Amino acid sequence: MGCWLNRLREKYQRHCDSVDRSSPRNKAEKILQREQELLQLAHQLVDEVGLNNLTMEKLVAVSPYSKGTIYNHFCCKEDLLAALGVHSMGLCSELMLKAQSFAGNSREQALAVHYAYHLYGLLEPALYMCVLNCKTPSVQEKASKQRLEQLEKVDKQIAQLCDSFFQKGLEDGSLRIAQQDIAYVSFANWACSFGTNLLLQNAAESFAISRLTETNRVLFNINLMFDGMGWQPVSTDYDYQQSWQKIELHFADYVAMLN
Amino acid sequence: MGCWLNRLREKYQRHCDSVDRSSPRNKAEKILQREQELLQLAHQLVDEVGLNNLTMEKLVAVSPYSKGTIYNHFCCKEDLLAALGVHSMGLCSELMLKAQSFAGNSREQALAVHYAYHLYGLLEPALYMCVLNCKTPSVQEKASKQRLEQLEKVDKQIAQLCDSFFQKGLEDGSLRIAQQDIAYVSFANWACSFGTNLLLQNAAESFAISRLTETNRVLFNINLMFDGMGWQPVSTDYDYQQSWQKIELHFADYVAMLN
DNA sequence: ACCTGAACACCGTTCAAGT
DNA sequence: ACCTGAACACCGTTCAAGT
Q: What is the pLDDT of residues A120-174, one digit of tens each?
A: 999 999 999 999 999 999 999 999 999 999 999 999 999 999 999 999 999 999 9
Cα separation, A27 vs A62, in Å, equals 23
The whole-number average pLDDT for the span B32-49 is 96
Mean pLDDT for all residues in chain A: 92
Q: What's residue B27's pLDDT?
A: 77
Chain A residues near residue B129 by CB distance under 8 angstroms: 136
pLDDT of B45 > 90? The answer is: yes
Q: What's residue A1's pLDDT?
A: 41
Residue of B nearest to A139 (CA): B52
pLDDT of B205 > 50? The answer is: yes
Q: How far is the CA of B65 from the C1' of C16 (A)?
A: 19
Position B253, amino acid? D
Angle, CA of B231, B255 and B100, to the nearest 5°? 40
Domain coverage including residue A246: 5-258
Cα separation, B220 vs A249, in Å, equals 34
Q: How far is A23 from chain B (nearest CA, A)?
A: 38
Those nucleotides of strand C lying less than 7 Å from any protein Cβ are 2-7, 9-16
Least-confidence region, from A18-22, B159-163, B251-255: A18-22
HSE value, Cβ hemisphere, 13 Å, CA-based, for B259: 1
Nearest to B229 among A53, A135, A224 (CB): A224
Q: How many domains does chain B have?
A: 1
Span B129-187, pLDDT tens digits = 999 999 999 999 999 999 999 999 999 999 999 999 999 999 999 999 999 999 999 99
Q: How far is the CA of A129 from the C1' of D16 (A)?
A: 39
Span A27-70, pLDDT tens digits = 788 899 999 999 999 999 999 999 999 999 999 999 999 999 99
CATH assignment at residue A87 = 1.10.357.10
* Whole-prediction pTM: 0.92
Residue of B nearest to A204 (CA): B135
The whole-number average pLDDT for the span B93-115 is 97
Cα distances (Å, whole numbers) of residue B21 to B25, B32, B42, B45, B246: 11, 11, 18, 20, 40
Q: Which helix (H) or strand (E) holds A159?
A: helix A145-171
Q: B188 and A221: CB-CB below 8 Å?
A: yes
Q: A187 and B155: CB-CB below 8 Å?
A: no
Nearest residue, CA→C1' of C13: B76
User: pLDDT exceeding 90 applies to what percent of chain A?
Assistant: 84
Rg (CA), chain A: 21
Cα separation, B162 vs B25, in Å, equals 37
Cα separation, A177 vs A226, in Å, equals 12
Q: What's residue B41's pLDDT?
A: 98
Nearest residue, CA→C1' of C3: A69
CB pairs under 8 A between A and B: 157
Nearest to A227 among B207, B208, B228 (CB): B228
pLDDT of B57 > 50? The answer is: yes
> Is the distance from CB of A106 to CB of A175 less than 8 angstroms?
yes
Burial class (CB in 10 A: 0-12, 13-18, 19+), A1: exposed
pLDDT of B96 > 90? The answer is: yes
The whole-number average pLDDT for the span B231-245 is 98
Band of the pLDDT at B28, cuts 50, 70, 90?
A: confident
The whole-number average pLDDT for the span B57-78 is 97
Q: What's residue B10's pLDDT?
A: 66
The whole-number average pLDDT for the span B112-118 is 98
The whole-number average pLDDT for the span A6-16 is 63
User: Which positions 134-153 on chain B have a beta carbon less than 7 angstroms from any atom of strand C?
Assistant: 142
- Full DSSP string of A177-236: --GGGHHHHHHHHHHHHHHHHHHHHH-TTSHHHHTS-SS-HHHHHHHHHHHHTTPSSPTT
pLDDT of B55 > 80? The answer is: yes
> Is the distance from CB of B190 to CB of A202 less than 8 angstroms?
no
pLDDT of B115 > 60? The answer is: yes
A218 compared with B19, residue with greater pLDDT: A218
Cα distances (Å, whole numbers) of residue B182 to A215, A235, B163, B176, B205: 13, 18, 7, 10, 35
Position A242, amino acid? Q
Span B16-27, pLDDT tens digits = 555 555 566 677
Q: What's residue B212's pLDDT?
A: 86
Q: How far is B96 from chain A (nearest CA, A)?
A: 16
Chain B residues near residue A176 by CB distance under 8 angstroms: none
Nearest to B227 among A152, A211, A228 (CB): A228
Chain B residues near residue A224 by CB distance under 8 angstroms: 185, 188, 224-225, 228-229
User: Which positions 181-220 on chain B have a beta carbon less than 7 angstroms from any atom of strand C?
Assistant: none
Q: How far is B30 from chain A (nearest CA, A)?
A: 32
Cα separation, B238 vs B226, in Å, equals 12
Chain A residues near residue B183 by CB distance under 8 angstroms: 208, 211-212
Chain A residues near residue B221 by CB distance under 8 angstroms: 187-188, 191-192
A9 compared with B153, residue with greater pLDDT: B153
Q: What's residue B21's pLDDT?
A: 53
Q: What's residue A259's pLDDT?
A: 76
Cα separation, B10 vs B1, in Å, equals 16
Q: Is the CB of A241 under 7 A from strand D?
A: no
pLDDT of B238 > 80? The answer is: yes
> Is the distance from CB of A104 to CB of A20 less than 8 angstroms?
no
Q: What's residue A178's pLDDT?
A: 96
Q: A227 and B225: CB-CB below 8 Å?
A: no
pLDDT of B213 > 90? The answer is: no
